[in-house]
Chain A
Amino acid sequence: MTGAPAPEAAVPAVTGRGRRLPRTLHPVAWWIWGIALATAVSRTTNPLLLFLVLAVLGYVVTERRTDAPWARGFRYYLWLALTVVAIRVVFRCVFATGITPADHIMFSLPHIPTPHWYAGIQLGGPVSLEATLSAATDGLRLACLLCCIGAANTLANPKRALRVLPGALYELGVAVTVSLSVAPQLVESVQRVARARRLRADGATGLRALRSILIPVLEDALERSLHLAAAMDSRGYGRAGTATRASRRTTAALMLGGMLGLCTGVYGLLDGTTPRALGLPALLGGSLLCCAGLALGGRRVRRTSYRPDPWRAPEWAVALCGVGTAVVLFLTVGYNAADLNPSLYPLRWPTLPWLPAAAILLAGLAAFAAPPPARTPAAAPAAPARAAAPTEKPSEALL
C-alpha cells in the first residue's frame, strides 16, 4: 500500500455519518480468526471459558454474517454441537466406568453384568454427577471446536477463500467450489418447486408429492450442471496449458513425496516412541518437497484473478484478535495453568481465569473490527430479492 495510490484508497473507509462502508472481509482473515479460536479452545476444558467462546462466536456471527446461502448455516452447527454433547453424555451414562465411591450418584440405570474377564467395560449401573459433568465438558470442548469452524464457514465466502489456493491446486479448487455450491442450490431448487406447487394449488402429499418435487429438482440440477459445464468450457477451464508429460510427472512425484514426508513428520512429532530424526526433519523435508511441487505445478498454468480481495487494516485486526486469544491460552503466563483444566474430582465450582477470559472477549472484538457485510437490500417485496440472490452467474460460481 506504499506505492501508487490504489483506486480503493480514494474511497473513504468511513462515510460521513460515521458508518463504515459495507464490504466483505477477506475470507482468509475469518479463517485465521476461526482456526486460532479453535486452537485456543483445544487448550481448555473450563466450562466457563467454553461458554464465553460460544457466546462470542454467536455474537460475531450475528453481527457480521452476510445473507448468502452458506451464511445461514450457523444454527446447524449449533445443533451439531448439541448432538455431540448429548452423545458424549449418553455414552458416559451407559458405559458407566470410572465411578468412584465418593461420587454423587444421580440415578441408576439397569446394570447388565459382564463376565469377569471383561471387567474393563461396565454396562449400565449408577450414573454419577461427576462423570456426567466431565463428559459434558469434554463434549462441550468438541462442540466449541465445531462451532469455531462453523463460524469461519459462515462468515467467510467459501468461493473467494478458494481463490487463495496455489495454482497447482486450481483444478481441485474448481471441483470443491462446484461441489460447495450444490447444497444451497438444491435447497433453493426445492423451495422454488414448492412455491410453484403452491401456486398451482397442488395439494398432493406423500409419495405423489415426492415425485412431483423430486423430478423437477433433479431436472433442475441436471440443467444447471450442463449450463455450468458449458460456461466453464467457454471460459477455458480444464485446459492443460503448456505442461509437458515430464513436468506433470515431476510435479506428481514431488507432491507425493512431500505428502509422505509430511505424514511421517507429523507421526514422528506426535508419537513419543519414534526416533527423533523422524519428526522435524521429515516434516521440513516434506514441506519443502510440497512447496517445490506446488511451485512447479503452478508454473504450467497462468491464472489471473478478477477483483482480488484486498487485505487491509480490518483484516489484520480480525486475524490478530483470534491469534491473540490462541497465544494467551498457549503461553499460560500470568495465570494458573490448572485453571484451564479444572478438576471435577472432588466436585467444585470452576474458577474463571481472568486473562484467558479477557482474551476470549478480545476475539469478540472481531465483530467491531470487521466492516459490516454487504447485504442484499431487504426490500419489502422480499420474495423476488431472495429468489434473485442465490442464483449466481457461472462466472461468480467459479471463483
Chain B
Amino acid sequence: MRGPRTPIRTARRGGRSVVGRATAALALAFAAVCGGLTLGAAPAAATPQPMTACTTTKGVVLAVDFSRWGGPLLRSCGTTPTTGYTLLNQGGWATTGTQHDGPAFICRIGYAGYQNGKQYPTSKDEACVLTPPATAYWSYWHADPGKNTWSYSQLGAMSYHPKPGSVDLWIFGATNIAGTQGRPTFSPDSVRAHNTPSGGTTTPPAKKGATTGGAGAHTTAPPVKPTHRAANTPTATAGTKSAGPSPTATTPSASTSTAAAPATPGTASPTGPRTQDAEPTAAAGHSSGSVLPVAITAAVVAVIAVAAALRVRRRRNAGHAP
C-alpha cells in the first residue's frame, strides 16, 4: 500500500505549503514593517550656522537657487566636516530622493523658511519615482576656497565632503553629463561668505536682524562682479524680517530678508537671481501616519488567505471522498 499512497501525501503537502508559506512570508514582511518604526534615530554630527559664522576659510556656504519658481537664491552656512547631503538636510533644509535611487539622489529641495518648507520641483512637475531627466534636475556645483569658478560635482551629495570655506551650489535646470553646459550664470564670489575669518568662531545666536548686525563684519561687495549685489552688502539687508515658520523653533528667529530685492533699486542684476540668507530654523515636523491602512490591508489579505486555505481543504476532502 505504501507505493500508491505516497503521491497523495506529497500532493497534500504541496497544497498546504503554497498557502502556508505565502502566509508566513506576508506575516514576516508585516512584522518587519511594524517592528521597524519603533527604533531610534542616529544623531547628526554637523550643525547649521547663521551666515555670519561662515568665512572664506571656515564653514561651508550652501546656496540653492529657487529662481526657476520665482524665488530667491538662498544661502546658508554649515560647519565642517560635513557632506553635501548633511548640509542640505539641516537648519530647516530638507530634500527628497527618488523611489528608484533612494535619498542620495536629490530630487526635491525645500527650506522651512521659504514657502513654508514646500519642496521644489513639486510633485506636479516631477514625480520623483524614476531618476529625473538631465534636462530638469538639481545639478550640484562646487567652488573651492579662493576659486571663482564653479566645478560640476563629480560625486554625489552623500559622498562629497566640502572643504572649509568652499561654496556648494544647487541649481535647477539642464546640463550635459560632463557638466560643461548649463553652468550657473553667476560667479561663486557673489554668494561666498566674505566675513573676516577672525570674528566668527563663537557667533552669538541669531538675534533680530542677524544679517544686518553681521553686516558690519562684512567686507565690501565682491570685486569681481560689483553689479551682482548680494544680501551681505549693508544696503541690501535693510528689509530683514522674521519669517519663523514654526512656533517651536529652537532658534529665536528665522531671518530671511525677503524684501531685500525690491527695497534696493538699481542693484538688480540682469543675469543672477537675488540672494537671501536662510538662517537655521527648526525642521518641519512630520507625523508617522496611521497604522489603520496597514491593519485593514492585513485583514483583507488574511481573509483572502483563509478563503484560499478553505478552498484547498475542500478540494482535498472531495478528492478523498469515494
Spell out A's residues near B (CB within 8 Å). Answer: 45, 47-48, 51-52, 54-56, 58-59, 62-63, 72, 74-75, 78, 82, 97-106, 119-120, 126, 129-134, 136, 138, 140, 191, 195, 198-199, 272, 337-338, 341, 343, 345-352, 357, 361, 364, 378, 380-383, 386
Shortest Cβ distance from B164 into chain A, in angstroms? 18
- Given the known A-B contacts A51-B297, A129-B39, are A380 and B45 also in contact in the complex, defined by CB atoms under 8 Å? no
Q: Cβ of B304 and Cβ of A56 under 8 Å apart?
A: yes
A385 to chain B, nearest CB (A): 10
Known: A136-B29, A346-B286, A382-B319. 15 other contacts (CB 8 A): A51-B29, A51-B30, A58-B304, A59-B308, A62-B311, A98-B97, A102-B44, A103-B42, A104-B40, A120-B159, A140-B29, A348-B287, A352-B296, A380-B320, A383-B7
Report which of B3, B33, B85, B133 forms a contact with A272, defined as CB distance below 8 A. B133
Is residue B265 within 8 Å, beta carbon to beta carbon, of the partner chain?
no
Whether B96 and A345, one on each chain, are in contact in the complex, defined by CB atoms closer than 8 angstroms, is: yes
The distance in angstroms between the C-alpha atoms of A134 and B97, with both chains bound, is 12
- Docked pose: A78 CA to B19 CA in angstroms: 10
What are 7 A-B interface contacts by the 8 Å CB criterion? A48-B297, A51-B30, A54-B26, A349-B294, A352-B296, A364-B304, A380-B320
Q: A74-B18, A78-B22, A348-B289 are in contact. Are A104 and B32 (CB under 8 A)?
A: no
Is B307 an interface position by the 8 A CB rule?
A: yes
Are the C-beta atoms of A51 and B26 separated by less than 8 Å? yes
Chain A residue with Cβ nearest B2 = A198
Name which of B58-66, B99-107, B188-196, B236-244 contacts chain A: B99-107
The answer to whether B155 and A120 touch across the interface, beta carbons within 8 angstroms, is: yes
In the complex, B36 has a CB within 8 A of chain A: yes
Docked CA distance A199–B4 (Å): 11
Partner of A100, one of B37, B85, B286, B289: B85
The answer to whether A347 and B129 touch (CB under 8 A), given A97-B104, A100-B85, A119-B155, is: no
Question: Closest B-chain residue to A375, C-beta based?
Answer: B315
Q: With CB as the reference atom, state the residue of chain A lying closest to B135.
A: A272
Are A352 and B18 in touch, CB under 8 angstroms? no
B41 close to A59 (CB less than 8 A)? no
Cβ of B288 and Cβ of A348 under 8 Å apart? yes
Q: Which residues of A contact B103 (CB under 8 A)?
A: 98, 100, 130, 345
* Selected contact of B32 from candidates A133, A338, A361, A386, CB within 8 Å: A133
- Please pick, from B2, B11, B293, B311, the residue contacting A48 in the complex, using a CB distance under 8 A: B293
The verdict on B127 contacting chain A, using a C-beta distance below 8 Å, is yes
Q: Does B322 contact A (CB under 8 A)?
A: yes
Point out the residues of chain B lying under 8 angstroms from A272, CB to CB: 133, 135
- Say yes or no for B25: interface residue by CB 8 A criterion: yes
Q: Do A75 and B14 have beta carbons less than 8 Å apart? A: yes
With A45-B99, A131-B102, A345-B97 known to touch, is A78 a contact of B18 (CB < 8 Å)? Answer: yes
When the two chains form their complex, are residues A55 and B85 in contact, meaning their CB atoms are under 8 A apart?
no
B289 touching A351 by the CB < 8 A rule? yes
Question: How far, in whole Å, are A338 and B108 apart by their CA atoms in the complex?
Answer: 14
Give complex CA distance A120, B156 in Å: 7
Closest chain B residue, CB of each to CB of A338? B123
Please indicate the chain A residues that have their CB under 8 angstroms from the CB of B43 in the complex: 101
Which residue of A100, A351, A386 is within 8 Å of B293 (Cβ)?
A351
B288 touches A347 (CB 8 A): yes
Q: Which of A101, A338, A349 makes the CB contact (< 8 A) with B288?
A: A349
Q: How far is the CB of B287 from chain A (nearest CB, A)?
A: 7
Report B85-127 CB contacts with A as 1/0, cut-off 8 Å. Answer: 1100100000011010111100000000000000000010001
For A350, give its contact among B45, B155, B294 (CB under 8 Å).
B294
Residues in B with CB closer than 8 Å to A134 are: 99, 102
A383 touches B3 (CB 8 A): yes
B162 smallest CB distance to A (angstroms):
13
Among A54, A62, A100, A345, point to the contact of B18 (Cβ < 8 A): A62
A99 to B33, CA, bound (A): 18
Summed over the interface, the residue pairs from A and B with CB atoms below 8 Å come to a total of: 171
The interface bits of chain B over 141-180 (1 if a CB of A lies within 8 angstroms of the residue's CB, else 0) are 0000000000000011011100000000000000000000
Known: A101-B89, A140-B29, A346-B286. A52 touches B102 (CB 8 A): no
* Contact B4 A352, beta carbon cutoff 8 Å: no
User: Once the chains are docked, how many angstroms separate the CA of A55 from the CA of B40?
Assistant: 32
Which chain A residues border B293 with CB–CB below 8 Å?
A: 48, 349-352
A381 CA / B41 CA spacing, docked (Å) = 62
Minimum Cβ distance to chain B for residue A377 (Å): 9
A97 engages B39 (CB within 8 Å):
no
Cβ-neighbour of A58 out of B4, B158, B305 (below 8 A): B305
Find chain B residues with CB under 8 A from A75 CB. Answer: 14, 17-18, 21
A78-B104 contact, Cβ under 8 Å, with A102-B89, A348-B287: no
- CB-CB < 8 A to A352: which residues of B? 293-294, 296-297
Contact A105 B288 (CB under 8 A): no
Partner of A105, one of B42, B129, B160, B289: B42
Most buried by A among B14, B305, B312: B305
Contact of B301 among A52, A63, A100, A195 (CB under 8 A): A52
Collect the chain B residues with CB atoms within 8 Å of residue A341's CB: 99, 127, 129
* Inter-chain contact A101/B102, CB cutoff 8 Å: no
Taking a contact as CB atoms closer than 8 A, the residue among A45, A52, A56, A191 that contacts B297 in the complex is: A52
Note all chain A residues with C-beta closer than 8 A to B96. 343, 345
- Smallest CB gap from A345: residue in B: B103
Among candidates B14, B41, B311, B320, residue contacting A103 with C-beta atoms closer than 8 Å? B41
**What is the distance, in angstroms, from B247's C-beta to the closest C-beta of chain A?**
21
- Whether B31 sits at the interface, judged by CB under 8 Å, is no
Cβ–Cβ contact A101 & B44, under 8 A: yes
Measured CB to CB, the closest approach of chain A to B28, in angstroms, equals 10
Q: Quick check: is B290 within 8 A (CB to CB) of the other chain? A: yes
**Contact between A55 and B301 (Cβ–Cβ < 8 Å)?**
yes
Chain B 295-322 per-residue mask, 1 if CB under 8 angstroms from chain A, else 0: 0110011001101100110000011101
Q: With A58-B308, A198-B3 in contact, is A349–B102 under 8 Å at CB?
A: no
Q: Tell me which residues across on chain B come within 8 A of A198, comparing CB atoms.
A: 2-3
Residues in B with CB closer than 8 Å to A126 are: 42
Known: A75-B21, A347-B288. A380 touches B322 (CB 8 A): yes
Kindly provide the distance from the CB of A387 to the nearest chain B CB, expressed in whole angstroms: 9
